[in-house]
């Protein structure tokens, strides 16, 4: 191999290096689209810590925090959804559903002259805040096989309010927890 051949090889190597550098510069220029400094879609994930647990199915529900969202007045408005089937009056009669005066804290299925479904009459629990909350989220899921044809109240304020309203419509409204 003479020096001329070596020069050719060196030249080829240099040219190759220049081409590679050149391509990378050009592609930098072509593809370096400015990144926006602020993301266009911010997903506002709820914070885990200190988060209220209001829809849980067990004892981890923070009932006082839930009830604090509601008012008796709003409960009266929400109860319009229940009125077609339930009377809330003290002297009220059973309708499609049982009368609801005094319902909070009494045993489930306790109106003696109302014909409950088997599911409800065999449930054997009291209407605690937790039970009522769970039931009202989705009645068909909470007590399987019951015959209340109502989809449920998804909204926490609605649920809290209607429970306060039920509690108020009683001989002995309970103090809030
Ligand atoms: C379409 C009619 C209908 C609507 C609307 C309805 N319910 Fe009922 N509800 C029933 C029926 C029927 C039962 C009895 C269920 C059974 O025996 O399985 C019942 C049972 C209940 C019970 C159990 C009562 C007891 O004595 O143990 C509660 C509490 C209750 N309903 C609350 C509500 C509330 C609060 C609303 C409104 C947010 C509502 N219901 C809307 C038909 C209805």
On whether residue 43 sits in a domain, the answer given is no
On whether residue 17 sits in a domain, the answer given is no
Report the pLDDT value the prediction gives residue 45, as an integer from 0 to 100. Answer: 52
Distance between Cα 98 and ligand 1 center (Å): 7
On whether residue 27 sits in a domain, the answer given is no
Identify which has the larger pLDDT, 68 or 30.
Answer: 68
Torsion angle in degrees (nearest 10) through CA of 73, 116, 59, 175:
40
- State the Cα–Cα distance between residues 162 and 136, nearest whole angstrom: 9
DSSP per-residue string spanning 100-139 = -TT-TTSBTT--TTS---HHHHT---B--HHHHHHHHH-H
Number of domains in the chain: 1
Distance between Cα 177 and ligand 1 center (Å): 24
Distance between Cα 72 and ligand 1 center (Å): 19
Specify the CATH number for the domain of residue 157: 1.10.760.10
Report the pLDDT value the prediction gives residue 27, as an integer from 0 to 100. Answer: 66
Report the pLDDT value the prediction gives residue 50, as an integer from 0 to 100. Answer: 43
On whether residue 66 sits in a domain, the answer given is yes
On whether residue 147 sits in a domain, the answer given is yes
On whether residue 35 sits in a domain, the answer given is no
pLDDT at 90 over 60: yes
Are 166 and 88 a contacting pair, CB within 8 Å?
Answer: yes
pLDDT at 14 over 80: no
Mutate to test the pocket of ligand 1, among 75, 83, 94, 97 (most ligand atoms within 8 A of CB): 97
What pLDDT band is residue 29 in, cutting at 50, 70 and 90?
low
Distance between Cα 29 and ligand 1 center (Å): 68
Lowest average pLDDT, out of 21-25, 26-30, 32-36, 118-122, goes to 32-36
Ligand 1: atom nearest CA of 143 is 18
pTM, full prediction: 0.74
**Ligand 1 binding site (Cβ under 6 Å of any ligand atom):** 81-82, 84-86, 96-98, 103, 108-111, 116-117, 119-120, 136, 146-150, 153, 162
Domain containing residue 120: 59-168
Show Cβ contacts of residue 164 under 8 Å, excluding neighbours closer than 6 positions: 67, 70, 71, 72, 75, 176
- State the Cα–Cα distance between residues 53 and 65, nearest whole angstrom: 9
Q: What is the radius of gyration, based on Cα positions, of the chain?
A: 34
On whether residue 126 sits in a domain, the answer given is yes
Report the pLDDT value the prediction gives residue 167, as an integer from 0 to 100. Answer: 98
pLDDT digits (tens, 9 = 90+) for 75-87: 999 999 999 999 9
What pLDDT band is residue 34 in, cutting at 50, 70 and 90?
low
Identify which has the larger pLDDT, 109 or 11.
Answer: 109
On whether residue 96 sits in a domain, the answer given is yes
């Amino acid at each position: 191999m003479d020096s001329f051949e070596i020069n050719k090889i060196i030249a080829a190597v240099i040219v190759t290096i220049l081409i590679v550098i050149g391509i990378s510069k050009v592609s930098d220029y072509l593809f370096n689209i400015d990144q926006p400094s602020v993301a266009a879609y911010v997903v506002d994930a709820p914070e885990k810590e200190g988060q209220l647990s209001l829809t849980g199915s067990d004892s981890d529900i923070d009932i006082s925090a839930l009830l604090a969202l509601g008012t008796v007045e709003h409960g009266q408005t929400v109860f319009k959804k229940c009125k077609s089937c339930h009377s809330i009056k003290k002297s009220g009669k059973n309708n499609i559903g049982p009368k609801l005066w005094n319902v909070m804290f009494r045993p489930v299925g306790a109106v003696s002259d109302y014909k409950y479904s088997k599911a409800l009459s065999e449930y054997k629990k009291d209407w605690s805040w937790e039970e009522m909350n769970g039931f009202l989220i989705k009645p068909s899921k909470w007590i399987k096989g019951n015959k209340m044809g109502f989809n449920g109240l998804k909204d926490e304020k609605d649920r809290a309010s209607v429970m306060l309203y039920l509690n108020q419509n009683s001989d002995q409204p309970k103090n809030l927890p």
